[in-house]
Structure 1
Amino acid sequence: MRWVLGLALVLAIAFALAWRDRFDAAALQAWVEGAGAAGPVVFIGLYAVATVLFLPGAVLTLAGGTLFGPLWGTLWNLTGATLGAALAFLIARHLGADWVARRAGPRLQRLNEGVASEGWRFVAFVRLVPLFPFNLLNYALGLTRISFVTYLLSTWVFMLPGAFAYTWLGHAGREALSGGDGLVRNVTIAVSLLAAVALLPRLVRQLRAKPMLDVLDLKCELEAGEGVLLLDVRTVAEFTGDLGHIAQARNLTLEELPECLVEFESRKQRPVRLICRTDRRSAQAARLLAEAGFSDAQVIRGGMTAWRAHGWAVVNA
Structure 2
Amino acid sequence: MDRRRFGLRIALVAVVIAGIAVAVTFRDRLTVDALEVWIGGLGPGAPWLFMGIYALAAVFFLPGSVLTLAGGALFGPVWGSLYSLTGATVGAILAFLVSRYAASDWVSRRAGGRLATLIRGVEQEGWRFVAFTRLVPLFPYNLLNYALGLTRIPIVPYVLATFVCMAPGAIAYTYLGYAGREAIAGGENLIRTILIALALLAVALFLPRLVTRLRRGRDLTVTELHEALAQERVTLLDVRSPAEFAEGHVDRAVLLPLDELLADPQRVAEAHAGPVALICRTDRRSAKAQRALAAAGVSEARVVQGGMEAWTRAGLPVTGGKGV
**With structure 1 as the length reference, what TM-score do the two structures score?**
0.79
Instruction: Return the letter of the residue paired with 1:231.
Output: L
Instruction: Return the letter of the residue paired with 2:116.
Output: Q
**1:1-317 matched pairs, under 5 angstroms:** 1-20=8-27, 23-25=30-32, 28-29=35-36, 31-33=38-40, 35-128=42-135, 132-222=139-229, 225=231, 227-233=232-238, 243=248, 245-246=250-251, 249-254=252-257, 259=267, 261-265=269-273, 268=274, 271-276=275-280, 278-287=282-291, 289-313=293-317
Q: Deviations over 1:21-55 (max 9, x none)?
A: 55554554455455433332232222212322233
Q: Percent identity?
A: 54
Cα deviation, residue 262, structure 1: 4.0
- SS of equivalent to 2:95: helix
Equivalents in 2 of 1:66, 1:50: separation in Å? 18
Equivalents in 2 of 1:315, 1:173: separation in Å? 61
Are residues 232 and 192 of structure 1, via their aligned partners in 2, closer, same or farther at CA, if it must alter by over 3 Å?
A: closer
Cα deviation, residue 186, structure 1: 1.6
Q: How many residues align?
A: 308
Are residues 39 and 312 of structure 1, via their aligned partners in 2, closer, same or farther at CA, if it must alter by over 3 Å?
A: closer
Cα deviation, residue 288, structure 1: 5.0
Equivalents in 2 of 1:141, 1:254: separation in Å? 30
Cα deviation, residue 128, structure 1: 4.2
Superposition CA RMSD, Å: 3.4
Equivalents in 1 of 2:249, 2:34: separation in Å? 70
Equivalents in 2 of 1:67, 1:312: separation in Å? 62
Preserved contact between residue 39 and residue 46 of structure 2 (Cα < 8 Å): yes
Are residues 161 and 264 of structure 1, via their aligned partners in 2, closer, same or farther at CA, if it must alter by over 3 Å?
A: closer
Cα deviation, residue 292, structure 1: 4.5
Unaligned runs of 5+ in 1: none
Instruction: Return the letter of the residue paired with 1:64.
Output: G
Cα deviation, residue 172, structure 1: 2.0
Cα deviation, residue 281, structure 1: 5.0
Are residues 117 and 183 of structure 1, via their aligned partners in 2, closer, same or farther at CA, if it must alter by over 3 Å?
A: same
Unaligned runs of 5+ in 2: 1-7
Equivalents in 1 of 2:269, 2:209: separation in Å? 28
Instruction: Return the letter of the residue paired with 2:165.
Output: F
Instruction: Return the letter of the residue paired with 1:229.
Output: V
Instruction: Return the letter of the residue paired with 1:8.
Output: V
Cα deviation, residue 278, structure 1: 4.6
Q: Deviations over 1:167-209 (max 9, x none)?
A: 1222222223322212222222222322332222211221333
Cα deviation, residue 165, structure 1: 1.8
Cα deviation, residue 9, structure 1: 1.9
Preserved contact between residue 126 and residue 153 of structure 2 (Cα < 8 Å): yes
Cα deviation, residue 58, structure 1: 3.1
**With structure 2 as the length reference, what TM-score do the two structures score?**
0.77
Equivalents in 2 of 1:281, 1:196: separation in Å? 26
Are residues 70 and 201 of structure 1, via their aligned partners in 2, closer, same or farther at CA, if it must alter by over 3 Å?
A: same
